[in-house]
């Protein structure tokens, strides 16, 4: 009975914490209503379960959790450094609170606790480079410089050139110059919200650093000393990237910078958990500690186990997955000492509550969510799966049941967040688990020896090279299989909740014990996860205009036909377009249309072709073929994708609802039809191009359209009169004020991506913007 009470209280606390995201007091009302309803209903149905008072107490706990998360949500203080942003040139002093790591743009990043700021951004440069000089004149200059600084507080997300962080450690006092900025909200549907991500860590400003100077004595000892020796031994013995992979297996990817291509390969193959220090590694550490003290007393086992867990925690850092595993390991040690059988599911939920009390914002951390769901699946489902695989040898059945259980329980969340499947991830996990297990044990031994003598640890790492190389080969082989990564579309929250309710029912209710009923429930969960999206994709009609600098980009989707006009640069394609296509469930572009072959704004096509198939490609080219575009032509030729240039007057009929026509070339004028709506794209709107368009009297009557789509500069009145738009959409960071006033006076609705973010149209909702959606979801 006590375990049931603990289970209910823990679940209600977690549910209350999630309800805190609802605006204003809505979360409190929802928690109270559901809790009170369950207290009335469940005891009447489940007479052997917890009493009514338990649910009433749990409701109070949930309300407390909701309130607790709201008051623990970080807010900038009155003197926070973010109050001074943006500024193009500042100098800050502070203390490094996070180890530097590498960004994808090859810069170093870390968090800085700010203590002082110089808003003028001017100091004596000579004294920046020599803070320890004993020269009286230098000391006088230092004192004069110090007067320019004023006290402030808060944390900064800092990026600097990689060379600047050489020798930088956590706890080091530094002085840093650069550009102070405010993190931006997501500008596109489904894009990563960098501002919210930093705000959950109590960071409300960023600094793009130019130069960094260390102050005081460098940090001489800390966990970094052990980490550096371990990583050095692994790389010395196994090389790169195998040695880096070994360090990641032992310490987690946060302790070592893996090459981006290797990290992406493991993630795509469904092996992301291999790179993150988590319960698997903690289990190995604790198992080794218990095995080494097998003939010792329980007190010695407990002490050695605690030391190993504590030491591992210090080396890897207090990430949610590591803390969860360490706390559960500690609970197992206590159970070992008191000689009582532990209840792992209850222990997992209590661990979750303790971690959320310590850091409530972890409830939104994907690592936290995936770690707990995977562990919950192992505890509740792996044994049942192994029993249903009794036709296999026991060892193989056990090996298969672990990744299957973890995959089942993380699948709904994965579909909600990414809308993507890795069909071969089970195979990848089964094949790599023995290799990873042996390599992790060997890596731990290598690391311990490296602390004493680096070459000795390197010798062990050298022996592990074949296992690490085979693991990388398996990940790359999996990714080269047909349909290795499938975009099925992001599901709704209600789909995820129904799926998890069915999974819990399979676990708890005896009625599902029979194989046939268990199968029916699981199939029903899959239907809920996949069928609604499939039906919605077949009937969707949507036009999206992403926000990217001053480049016009459009994605049209209708009747299972997908058209992309322009791609942006490689970074935009990788981090915005491809994730957006995944969440829509798009694996193929039926048509790609490029109106610009400039390398800085069209290189995104090369990134897209590596993730999304393109059936047909058209461009508007006058023979200008820069290197990135030549690479694209070669890629399309290798994929046997038809490539041609649009001719003036030529129309592309995608279906009876979507049509594209080139009205003029140099300057380019494109006319589109989406349902009953007509669009006119003026890709080149410089004054000279507009004069050329206005001079063509036969062209002007063809310009009439419902929507003017352009790049935000002033439009010639002659051209504007010819178009007669009712909607004007600018793919631009800003729009000329005179132009905006002119359009408003003509009763034209005006949107631009710099102000509104990404813009969408569909026949039911008409035009709506990302900012409208964000503002409607905001609690303010």
Average pLDDT over residues 559-574: 88
> What pLDDT score does 293 carry?
79
For domain 540-777, the CATH class is alpha beta
CA–CA gap between residue 547 and residue 695 (Å, rounded): 31
Q: Which of 356-370, 450-464, 482-496, 587-601 has the lowest mean pLDDT?
A: 587-601
Query: 322 or 774, which is more confident?
Result: 322
Tell me if 81 sits within 8 A of 153, measured CB to CB. yes
The string over 185-205, giving b where at least 16 C-beta atoms fall within 10 Å of a residue's C-beta and e elsewhere, is ebbbbbbeeeeeebbbebbbb
The listed range with the strongest mean pLDDT (15-24, 298-307, 323-332, 721-730) is 721-730
As a three-state string, the secondary structure of 48-74 is: CCCCHHHHHHHHHHHHHHHHHHHHCCC
Query: 232 or 550, which is more confident?
Result: 232
Give residue-wise pLDDT tens across range 216-232: 777 777 777 888 888 99
Tell me if 430 sits within 8 A of 474, measured CB to CB. no
> What pLDDT score does 299 carry?
79
> What pLDDT score does 621 carry?
63
Give residue-wise pLDDT tens across range 689-706: 888 888 888 888 999 999
The listed range with the strongest mean pLDDT (187-201, 262-276, 374-388) is 187-201
The single-letter DSSP state of residue 94 is E
CA distances for 261 relative to 266, 440, 503, 519, angstroms: 9, 22, 35, 39
Query: 671 or 386, which is more confident?
Result: 671
Hey, is 653 helix, strand or coil?
strand
Smallest Cα–Cα separation from 325: which of 335, 341, 310, 337? 310
> What pLDDT score does 779 carry?
40
Give residue-wise pLDDT tens across range 103-150: 877 889 999 999 999 987 665 544 544 544 445 555 555 555 666 788
Hey, is 342 helix, strand or coil?
coil
Q: Which of 142-151, 439-448, 477-486 has the lowest mean pLDDT?
A: 142-151
For domain 81-131+139-220, the CATH class is mainly beta
> What pLDDT score does 82 carry?
92
The single-letter DSSP state of residue 80 is B
CA–CA gap between residue 435 and residue 424 (Å, rounded): 17
Give residue-wise pLDDT tens across range 232-247: 999 999 988 899 999 8
Query: 25 or 79, which is more confident?
Result: 79
Split at pLDDT 50, 70, 90, the class of 362 is confident
User: Does position 378 have pLDDT exceeding 90, yes or no?
Assistant: no
Give residue-wise pLDDT tens across range 168-204: 888 889 999 999 999 988 888 888 888 988 998 899 9
Task: Considering only CA atoms, give the Rg of the chain.
Answer: 30
Give residue-wise pLDDT tens across range 306-320: 888 888 787 777 777
Quote the tokens at residue 433.
Answer: 């688990």
CA-based diameter of the chain, in Å? Answer: 97
Hey, is 122 helix, strand or coil?
coil
CA distances for 35 relative to 8, 24, 57, 59, angstroms: 11, 19, 9, 5
CA distances for 187 relative to 331, 385, 551, 780, angstroms: 44, 43, 14, 19
CA–CA gap between residue 338 and residue 424 (Å, rounded): 43
The total number of residues shown for the chain amounts to 780
> What pLDDT score does 598 carry?
60
> What pLDDT score does 207 carry?
94
Give residue-wise pLDDT tens across range 710-723: 988 888 889 999 99
Strand partners, 682: 669
Contacts of 99 (CB under 8 A, 6+ apart): 110, 169, 170, 224, 255
CA–CA gap between residue 683 and residue 485 (Å, rounded): 34
> What pLDDT score does 606 carry?
82
Query: DSSP per residue over 393-426, as a string?
Result: -HHHHHHHHHHHHHHHHHHHHHHHHT-EE-TTHH
> What pLDDT score does 628 carry?
59
Query: 566 or 537, which is more confident?
Result: 566
Smallest Cα–Cα separation from 493: which of 522, 532, 547? 532
The string over 523-539, giving b where at least 16 C-beta atoms fall within 10 Å of a residue's C-beta and e elsewhere, is eebeebbbeebeeebee
> What pLDDT score does 687 carry?
85
Hey, is 278 helix, strand or coil?
coil
- Dihedral pair phi/psi, residue 484, rounded to 5°: -65, -25
Tell me if 731 sits within 8 A of 711, measured CB to CB. yes
Percent of the chain with pLDDT over 70: 89
The listed range with the strongest mean pLDDT (21-30, 82-91, 188-197) is 82-91
Half-sphere exposure in the Cβ direction for 656 (13 Å, CA): 0
Smallest Cα–Cα separation from 31: which of 136, 114, 39? 39
> What pLDDT score does 193 carry?
86
Hey, is 464 helix, strand or coil?
coil
Contacts of 742 (CB under 8 A, 6+ apart): 720
CA–CA gap between residue 154 and residue 205 (Å, rounded): 9
> What pLDDT score does 132 carry?
44
CA–CA gap between residue 10 and residue 376 (Å, rounded): 14
Split at pLDDT 50, 70, 90, the class of 730 is very high
Tokens 């589109």 belong to: 672
Split at pLDDT 50, 70, 90, the class of 778 is very low
CA–CA gap between residue 556 and residue 586 (Å, rounded): 11
User: Does position 499 have pLDDT exceeding 70, yes or no?
Assistant: yes
Query: 274 or 135, which is more confident?
Result: 274
The chain-wide mean pLDDT, for the chain, equals: 83
Quote the tokens at residue 193.
Answer: 């919200």
CA–CA gap between residue 148 and residue 143 (Å, rounded): 9
CA–CA gap between residue 351 and residue 663 (Å, rounded): 64
Q: Are strands 669-674 and 677-682 parallel, antiparallel or unpaired?
A: antiparallel
Q: How many CB atoms lie within 10 A of CB 665?
A: 16
Q: Which of 117-131, 259-273, 464-478 has the lowest mean pLDDT?
A: 117-131
Q: DSSP H helical segments within 623-766, as ranges?
A: 627-638, 687-695, 717-723, 737-745, 753-756
Tokens 């000391």 belong to: 139
User: Does position 561 have pLDDT exceeding 70, yes or no?
Assistant: yes
Query: DSSP per residue over 686-718, as a string?
Result: SHHHHHHHHH-TTTGGGG--SEEEE-SSPPPHH
Quote the tokens at residue 422.
Answer: 């890795």
Average pLDDT over residues 649-663: 90
Percent of the chain with pLDDT over 90: 21
By CB atoms closer than 10 A (0-12, 13-18, 19+), residue 780 is: exposed
User: Does position 157 have pLDDT exceeding 90, yes or no?
Assistant: yes
Average pLDDT over residues 568-572: 85
Strand partners, 159: 109, 208
């Amino acid at each position: 009975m006590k375990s049931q009470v603990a289970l209910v209280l823990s679940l209600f606390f977690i549910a209350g914490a999630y309800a805190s995201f609802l605006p204003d007091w809505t979360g409190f009302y929802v928690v109270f209503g559901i809790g009170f309803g369950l207290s009335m209903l469940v005891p009447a149905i489940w007479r052997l379960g917890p009493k009514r008072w338990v649910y009433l107490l749990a409701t109070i706990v949930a309300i407390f959790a909701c309130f607790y998360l709201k008051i623990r949500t970080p807010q900038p203080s009155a003197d926070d450094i973010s109050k001074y942003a943006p500024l193009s040139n500042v100098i800050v002093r502070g203390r490094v609170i996070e180890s530097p790591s590498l960004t994808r743009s090859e810069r170093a990043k870390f968090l800085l606790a700010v203590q002082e700021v110089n808003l003028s951004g001017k100091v004596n440069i000579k004294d920046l480079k020599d803070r320890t000089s004993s020269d009286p004149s230098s000391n006088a200059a230092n004192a004069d410089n110090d007067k320019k600084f004023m006290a402030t507080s808060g944390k900064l997300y800092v990026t600097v050139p990689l060379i600047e962080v050489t020798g930088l450690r956590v706890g080091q006092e530094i002085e840093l110059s650069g550009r102070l900025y405010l993190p931006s909200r997501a500008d596109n549907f489904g894009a990563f919200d960098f501002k919210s991500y930093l705000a959950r860590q109590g960071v409300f400003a960023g600094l793009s650093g130019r130069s960094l100077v260390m102050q005081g004595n460098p940090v001489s000892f800390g966990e970094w000393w052990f980490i550096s020796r371990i990583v050095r031994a692994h790389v010395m013995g196994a090389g790169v990237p195998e040695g880096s992979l070994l360090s990641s297996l032992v310490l987690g990817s946060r302790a070592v910078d893996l090459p981006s291509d290797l990290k992406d390969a493991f993630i795509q193959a469904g092996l992301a958990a291999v790179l993150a220090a988590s319960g698997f590694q903690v289990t190995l550490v604790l198992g080794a500690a218990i095995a080494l003290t097998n003939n010792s007393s329980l007190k010695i086992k407990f002490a050695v186990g605690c030391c190993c867990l504590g030491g591992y925690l210090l080396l890897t850092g207090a990430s949610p997955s590591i803390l969860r595993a360490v706390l559960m390991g500690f609970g197992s040690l206590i159970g070992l000492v008191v000689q009582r059988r532990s209840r792992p599911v209850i222990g997992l939920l209590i661990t979750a509550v303790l971690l959320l009390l310590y850091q409530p914002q972890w409830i939104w951390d994907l690592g936290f969510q995936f770690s707990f769901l995977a562990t919950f699946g192992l505890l509740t489902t792996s044994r049942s799966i192994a029993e249903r695989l009794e036709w296999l040898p026991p060892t193989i059945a056990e090996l298969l049941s672990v990744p299957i259980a973890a995959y089942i329980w993380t699948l709904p969340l994965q579909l909600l967040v990414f809308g993507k499947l890795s069909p071969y991830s089970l195979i990848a996990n089964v094949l790599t688990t023995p290799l990873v297990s042996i390599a992790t044990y060997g890596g731990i031994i290598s690391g311990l020896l490296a602390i004493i003598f680096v070459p000795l640890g390197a010798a062990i790492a050298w022996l592990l090279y074949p296992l690490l190389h085979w693991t990388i080969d398996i990940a790359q082989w999996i990714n080269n299989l047909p349909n290795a990564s499938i975009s099925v579309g992001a599901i709704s929250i209600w789909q995820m909740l129904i799926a998890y309710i069915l999974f819990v029912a399979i676990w708890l209710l005896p009625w599902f014990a029979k194989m046939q009923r268990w199968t029916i429930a699981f199939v029903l969960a899959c239907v809920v996860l996949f069928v609604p999206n499939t039906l919605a994709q077949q009937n969707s009609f949507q036009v999206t205009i992403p926000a990217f600098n001053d480049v016009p980009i459009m994605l049209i989707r209708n009747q299972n036909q997908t058209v992309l006009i322009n791609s942006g640069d490689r970074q935009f394609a990788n981090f915005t377009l491809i994730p957006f296509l995944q969440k829509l469930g798009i694996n193929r572009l039926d048509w790609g249309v490029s109106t610009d072959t400039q390398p800085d704004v069209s290189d995104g096509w090369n990134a897209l072709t590596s993730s999304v198939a393109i059936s047909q490609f058209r461009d508007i080219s006058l023979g200008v073929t820069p290197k990135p575009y030549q690479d694209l032509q070669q890629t399309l030729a290798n994929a046997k994708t038809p490539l041609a240039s649009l001719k003036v007057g030529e129309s592309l009929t995608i279906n009876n609802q979507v049509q594209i026509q080139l009205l003029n070339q140099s300057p380019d004028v494109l006319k589109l039809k989406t349902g009953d709506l007509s669009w006119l794209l003026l890709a080149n709107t410089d004054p000279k191009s507009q004069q050329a368009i206005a001079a063509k009297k036969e062209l002007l009557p063809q310009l009439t359209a419902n929507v003017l789509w352009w790049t935000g500069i002033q439009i010639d009145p002659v051209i504007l009169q010819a178009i007669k738009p009712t909607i004007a959409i600018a793919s631009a960071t800003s729009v000329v004020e005179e132009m905006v006033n002119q359009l408003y006076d003509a009763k034209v609705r005006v949107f631009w991506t710099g102000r509104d973010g990404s813009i969408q149209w569909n026949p039911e909702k008409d035009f709506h913007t990302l900012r409208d959606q964000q503002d409607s979801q905001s609690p303010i």
